[in-house]
Amino acid sequence: MSEGAGAGFLNTFSQTKVGSDTIFSWWARYQEAVGSGHDAVNGTIGALLENNGELAINHVVDKVVRESPPIEISAYAPLKGLPAFLDLAITLALGDVREELESIGMNVTSTASPGGSGALYLAAANFADRGDKVLLRDRHWGPYDGFLAGCDLGIATYPLLPSKDVEGSFLDLDSLQKELAKLCNSQSKVMSWLNDPAHNPTGLSLTEQDRYNFLKCFIESSLANQEVSHTLLVDAAYHLYAGQPHGWADTICQLLHDGISWPDNLLVTFAISLSKSHTIYGLRTGALVTIHPDEQVIDRITTVMGVTGRQTWSATSRLAQYAVSQIHSDEELANNWDEERERLQNLLEERRELFIQECDKLGVPINPTHDGFFAWLDCEDSVSIANECAKNHVYLVPLDGGVRIGLCAIPTDKIARVAQALSQALS
């Protein structure tokens, strides 16, 4: 069927939607290899697998979901979300410093969404004017492009890593400041999306000093451009598998304790996902958590997000909201959930450390990688590299600017083989 088919029915934007998802097409190649009897390695999907290849499932969450009352399975949730879940989402975003932030005058709201993707849509639909550009790192999760384009938003970028070596830093602060200034000169609203910690697709996490410098940069820009609203969205999809899961809340506290006044035109919001942290990918549950010192701002955002959800997906699935709220309100269940989450985090850390060691041995120049599900090889011809790896039946994902290595899916005993395949592909 030609791409022109259906043009009479589809609007102009819809006609730009072509092709298939890169990640799923390479996963299909892996499945074909297995179906043909090959000993293939799956480094394609963004879901955490056990070493035997089965989906890793937190048994505590699974048990509570299955034992939920029928009414919690079948009934609608409130449009903005179950109250207990909305409260929990704030704690998942801010961690132990939530109480301190609230005590020093920060107000917080949350809205339930269908996964972290739903939270991203809420932000894209409401925090930028149509035609604006949203500021991203040049290496970012590909579907960001689609979420933003669907809301008639463009993209401005700055480099993932500093162009010159700054010891202990993974933030190109100079480029961030320059791009932010450009946007402030041309837009009345500026929004930036930052997937941190445990960045997809690299596994990079900013340092404590990087976070401080990043947020201070936004504060300084807000103060210098008081007619421009600034929104920083922290995409926290993988944060509970990171060494500093609530580092951004800590950084906000630190800045406030350093005597820095919070600008009225600066908003920080978190896209929260339960998919990875609670291993319930298919139940599509997340939240957008927003923090600001002005209670009236927070109240208005609460209303707008609820209306947006109603007009888009109606209400978010009730079951996961109920089950996860039950877990975190019960000390024993919460401790058992956290023990299992920690086991899975240790599994990821073991794979990452081994992968870094093997790449060092073979001279494979992977990017800095610290937390979460992925590692990354920066390269110009990513499809060529992925195809060479596939000759050895190692299946990875070629994206713009590099190859994503799904450590989350690769059995620990196959990690060395992935490093070897990359080494051969590069040579």
Q: What is the pLDDT of residues 150-161, one digit of tens each?
A: 999 999 999 999
Tell me 37's DSSP state: T
**Whether residue 260 is found in the same domain as residue 372:** no
| Whole-prediction pTM | 0.96
How many Cα atoms within 13 Å fall on the side-chain side of residue 79? Answer: 12
Q: Is the pLDDT of residue 123 over 60?
A: yes
CATH number at residue 371: 3.90.1150.10
Q: Which residues pair with 41 in a beta bridge?
A: 394
Q: Is the pLDDT of residue 19 over 90?
A: no
Question: Measured between alpha carbons, how far is 349 from 205 in angstroms, rounded to an integer?
Answer: 14
**Whether residue 291 is found in the same domain as residue 170:** yes
**Whether residue 159 is found in the same domain as residue 20:** no
**Whether residue 130 is found in the same domain as residue 171:** yes
Asked whether the beta carbons of 141 and 201 are under 8 A apart, the reply is: yes
Question: Measured between alpha carbons, how far is 295 from 242 in angstroms, rounded to an integer?
Answer: 31
Domain of 132 in residue numbering reads as 78-316
**Whether residue 192 is found in the same domain as residue 301:** yes
**Whether residue 254 is found in the same domain as residue 207:** yes
Question: Measured between alpha carbons, how far is 6 from 271 in angstroms, rounded to an integer?
Answer: 35
Cα angle: 209, vertex 132, 136; to 5 degrees:
30
How many Cα atoms within 13 Å fall on the side-chain side of residue 326? Answer: 17
Place of tokens 């073979």: 362
Reading the block at residue 303, the tokens are 């209303």
Place of tokens 């830093």: 169
Using the 3D structure, point to which of 263, 286, 316 is the last residue of a domain: 316
Using the 3D structure, point to which of 283, 316, 349 is the last residue of a domain: 316
For residue 183, what are the CA distances in angstroms to 32, 179, 277, 330, 375? 46, 6, 34, 46, 31
Per the domain annotation, does 142 fall within a domain? Answer: yes
Give residue-wise pLDDT tens across range 55-71. 999 999 999 999 999 99
Cα angle: 292, vertex 294, 295; to 5 degrees:
100
Give residue-wise pLDDT tens across range 359-370. 999 999 999 999
**Whether residue 299 is found in the same domain as residue 156:** yes
**Whether residue 131 is found in the same domain as residue 199:** yes
**Whether residue 215 is found in the same domain as residue 295:** yes
Q: How confident is the model at residue 188 (pLDDT cuts 50, 70, 90)?
A: very high
The amino acid at 133: K
Per the domain annotation, does 325 fall within a domain? Answer: no
CA 384 to chain centroid, in Å, comes to 27
Per the domain annotation, does 329 fall within a domain? Answer: no
- pLDDT value at position 20? 67
Q: Which residues pair with 266 in a beta bridge?
A: 230
The tally of domains found in the chain comes to 2
For residue 15, what are the CA distances in angstroms to 9, 21, 49, 142, 162? 9, 16, 36, 19, 37
- pLDDT value at position 15? 80
Place of tokens 């890593």: 161
Asked whether the beta carbons of 396 and 25 are under 8 A apart, the reply is: no
- pLDDT value at position 17? 78
Give residue-wise pLDDT tens across range 380-395. 999 999 999 999 999 9
- pLDDT value at position 6? 73
pLDDT > 90: percent of the chain: 93
DSSP assignment of 147-211, as one string? HHHHTT-EEEEE-SS-SS--TT----HHHHHHHHHHHHHH-SEEEEEEE-SS-TTT-----HHHH
CATH number at residue 306: 3.40.640.10
Q: How confident is the model at residue 2 (pLDDT cuts 50, 70, 90)?
A: low
Q: Give the lowest-confidence range in 15-24, 94-103, 165-174.
A: 15-24
Asked whether the beta carbons of 293 and 105 are under 8 A apart, the reply is: yes
- Is residue 259 left, alpha or beta, with left meaning phi > 0 and alpha meaning psi from -120 to 50? left
- pLDDT value at position 3? 60
**Closest by Cα among 294, 287, 300, 246 to 266:** 294
**Closest by Cα among 94, 65, 127 to 280:** 65
Q: Is the pLDDT of residue 82 over 60?
A: yes
Using the 3D structure, point to which of 268, 288, 316 is the last residue of a domain: 316
Q: How confident is the model at residue 13 (pLDDT cuts 50, 70, 90)?
A: confident
Tell me 281's DSSP state: G
Which whole number is the average pLDDT over 14-39? 88
**Whether residue 399 is found in the same domain as residue 349:** yes
Q: Is the pLDDT of residue 166 over 80?
A: no
Within 10 angstroms of residue 195's Cβ, the number of other Cβ atoms is 26
Q: Which residues pair with 298 in a beta bridge?
A: none
Give residue-wise pLDDT tens across range 282-335. 999 999 999 999 999 999 999 999 999 999 999 999 999 999 999 999 999 999
Reading the block at residue 337, the tokens are 């959930």
Q: Is the pLDDT of residue 1 over 60?
A: no
Long-range contacts of 18-26 (CB under 8 A, 24+ apart): 22/142, 22/397, 22/398, 22/399, 23/142, 23/397, 26/386, 26/395, 26/396, 26/397, 26/398
Q: Give the lowest-confidence range in 14-18, 127-131, 263-267.
A: 14-18
The amino acid at 366: I
Which whole number is the average pLDDT over 101-121? 97
**Whether residue 43 is found in the same domain as residue 156:** no
Per the domain annotation, does 370 fall within a domain? Answer: yes
Which whole number is the average pLDDT over 78-87? 98
Reading the block at residue 393, the tokens are 């039946």
**Whether residue 291 is found in the same domain as residue 355:** no
Per the domain annotation, does 193 fall within a domain? Answer: yes
- pLDDT value at position 8? 78
* Sheet of strand 154-158: strand arrangement: 107-113, 286-292, 266-273, 229-235, 189-195, 133-137, 154-158
Per the domain annotation, does 93 fall within a domain? Answer: yes
